[in-house]
Structure 1
Amino acid sequence: MTSSIYGPSSSASYRPFPSTRHNWHSQFCFICYIFFSLSFLRMSQGRGSAVATLMVMSLLVLLYCEVAEAATYTVGDAGGWTFNVVGWPKGKRFRAGDILQFNYNPSFHNVVGVGKVGYSTCKTLRGAKVYQTGNERIRLVKGQNFFICNFPGHCESGMKIAVTAV
C-alpha cells in the first residue's frame, strides 16, 4: 500500500529509469492515443457497441500511460533511512506521484511527514503523519514534501529530507 503525506492510496507503480521518463514510453502513449482516437472517429459512424468498446480501451491506455510514469526512489539508497541523509535528494528530479521508499528499523527510527516549520525546527507539529513500520512507501505530492525522524536528536543529526516534486 502506498501513502501520500496526506493519507493512504492503493495504487503504485514502478519506473526503473527516472531519466527516461519522457522518452520511449511517452512516445508510445502518444502513438496509442492517436491510433485509438482515429479508430474512434472511423467507427463512430453507426457502430454503437464498437464505439463504446473503443472508448473504454482508449481510456485504459491513457490511464496506463499516466500511472506508468511514477518512479520509486529508495531514500538513502543502500544505506536506507538513517543519519546524515539530509543531502540525499540533491541532484535528483522528483515528480508528483513518485514514490519514496523508506527502509529502517522501527525500533530506532520513524518517518514523519511535516511542513516547512517542522522540518526547520525538527519538531513534530499537531496533525503530522507518523509512519512506524520500517517499510514506508510514500507518494510525493506536487510542491514541497518534508520528512523527519522525530526520535530525540535524530532530525538534528541530519535524519531529515526536503523533496520538491514538480
Structure 2
Amino acid sequence: MALAGKGFVLLMVMAAVHITNAAVYKVGDSAGWTTIGNIDYKQWAATKTFRVGDIIHFEYNAQFHNVMRVTHAMYRACNVSAPLATYTTGNDTINITRRGHHFFFCGVPGHCQAGQKVDINVPRNLSTTAPTPSALVSPLVPPARIPVPSPSKAVPFSALKDGFGSFGLMAMAVVALLVFGSA
C-alpha cells in the first residue's frame, strides 16, 4: 500500500514539474489571428522557442476566421479540403504534445494565401527537462523560461497562477513524499 502511495506522489511531482515549465503563446501577440495589418506569422514563430507542453492560443473574430490544423503538404498548398482538426470558437488553445512541426492556417477562402498561416516548430534536440532548484533560486542566474510579461512575449504558465511557482510546487511535493511516503 505504501508503495502505491509513493508512486502516486511521484506522479504528482512529475506532473507539477511538467506544468510549471509550460508557456502560453498567443499567436500574433497583441494582433492575434487575423489578416488585418499583414502580420508575418512566420517571423512571429521564428522569435519563439516552443517546447512540448506549451500552449498555443489563437484569438480571433470567429465570424471572419477559424483555425485548421493540417499536414505539411496541405500547409504549403493552402489546401482546406481535409484538415486534421478545425477550431472555430475565436478563443482556441492547443496543447503541444510532441516535437516537430505543427501546421495551422485559416480556412476562410483567401486567408491562407494572404499569409494567415503558422508553422509551430518544436525542435527535436531541445531539452524539455526542468531547471534544477538551485538554478531557480540563484540571484545571479535568471530563470530561462520566465520572461517579463509583455504583449510580445510568452507568459510562462507558472506566472499565470498565484502561489509558490515551480520551486514551491516541487518543495510541497517533496514534503508530501516525506509525510505520506513513510505511512
Question: TM-score, normalized by length of structure 1?
Answer: 0.65
Query: Does structure 1 conserve the Cα–Cα contact (< 8 Å) formed by 2:75 and 2:105?
Result: yes
Counterpart of 1:61 in structure 2 is: 13
Count matched residues: 118
Query: Does structure 1 conserve the Cα–Cα contact (< 8 Å) formed by 2:18 and 2:53?
Result: no
1:151 aligns with 2:103: no
Q: What stretches of structure 2 of length at least 5 have no aligned partner?
A: 124-183
| Residue-by-residue CA offset, 1:60-92 (whole Å, 9 max, x unaligned) | 112211222211100010110012342210121
The alpha carbon displacement at 1:127 in A equals 4.5
Q: Distance in 2 between matches of 1:151 and 1:111?
A: 9
- Opposite residue 101 of structure 2, the aligned amino acid is Q
Counterpart of 1:122 in structure 2 is: 78
**Higher RCO, 1 or 2 (CA under 8 Å, sep at least 6)?**
2
| Residue-by-residue CA offset, 1:130-151 (whole Å, 9 max, x unaligned) | 1111000011232100000011
Between 120-129 and 139-148, report the one with greater CA deviation.
Answer: 120-129
Aligned with 1:76 (options 28, 32, 36) = 28
Aligned with 2:65 (options 101, 109, 118) = 109
RMSD: 1.7
Write out the 4+ residue segments of structure 1 that deviate beyond 6 Å after TM superposition.
Answer: none
Query: Does structure 2 conserve the Cα–Cα contact (< 8 Å) formed by 1:114 and 1:125?
Result: no
Query: Does structure 1 conserve the Cα–Cα contact (< 8 Å) formed by 2:68 and 2:83?
Result: no
Q: Distance in 1 between matches of 2:8 and 2:84?
A: 40
1:134 aligns with 2:90: yes
Q: Distance in 2 between matches of 1:52 and 1:161?
A: 44
Q: What stretches of structure 1 of length at least 5 have no aligned partner?
A: 1-47
Q: 1:60 to 1:159 in 2, by over 3 A?
A: same
